[in-house]
């Protein structure tokens, strides 16, 4: 760990697809998995490369972007303010469902609580007004009801099927 007065420390992360990332220490320490790597290897050299065999370059780049912005928000005392909400809304706006799933799997593996919460909430918001078919496709779930069974389950809360968005 860097000591006060020392130059800004850089952490090296290597993804499953072999890309090397150089990340500022405070941002990398947002990842619980990286933090515990250094906690367990206290004498690790400064240029140690932390392997991340379950994350590929694309989601990692997205995660670094998110964490970097949030570390800065916290440093500026902007946490919880409109600025953060605006950034978060912009951040997910252009993300496809597949990209969101990649990000949540990566955030889960890296164990970044704040981002995991945000992505969970985002996916829930994206799904809440959707149809049953859309949700099955999103999660890759096979329908194991017979048409008669499904009709019967649907009848139990027929009103919950009103006002659903187009897929």
The footprint of other proteins (CB under 8 A) covers 98, 101-102, 104-105, 108, 120-121, 123-124, 127-129, 131-132, 135-136, 139-145, 150, 153-154, 156-157, 159-161, 164
158 secondary structure, DSSP code: G
Nearer to other proteins, 47 or 98 (CB): 98
Q: Are 92 and 100 in contact (CB under 8 A)?
A: yes
C-alpha torsion angle, residues 150, 152, 158, 160 (rounded to 10): -50
Nearer to other proteins, 11 or 104 (CB): 104
Closest contact distance (angstroms) between CB of 46 and other proteins is 34
Nearer to other proteins, 65 or 121 (CB): 121
Closest contact distance (angstroms) between CB of 77 and other proteins is 16
**Distances from the Cα of 75 to the Cα of 21, 69, 87, 94, 136, angstroms:** 23, 10, 16, 27, 41
């Amino acid at each position: 760990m860097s000591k006060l007065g020392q130059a800004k420390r850089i952490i090296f992360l290597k993804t499953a697809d072999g890309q090397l990332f150089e990340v500022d220490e405070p941002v990398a320490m947002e990842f619980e998995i990286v933090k515990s790597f250094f906690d367990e290897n206290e004498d690790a050299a400064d240029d140690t490369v932390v392997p991340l065999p379950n994350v590929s370059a694309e989601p990692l780049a997205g995660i670094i972007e998110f964490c970097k912005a949030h570390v800065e928000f916290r440093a500026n005392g902007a946490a919880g303010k409109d600025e953060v909400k605006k950034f978060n809304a912009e951040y997910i706006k252009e993300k496809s469902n597949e990209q969101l799933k990649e990000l949540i799997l990566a955030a889960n593996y890296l164990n970044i609580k704040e981002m995991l919460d945000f992505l969970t909430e985002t996916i829930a918001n994206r799904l809440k007004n959707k149809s049953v078919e859309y949700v099955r496709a999103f999660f890759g779930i096979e329908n194991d009801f017979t048409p008669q069974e499904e009709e019967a389950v649907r009848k139990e809360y027929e009103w919950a099927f009103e006002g659903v968005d187009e897929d």
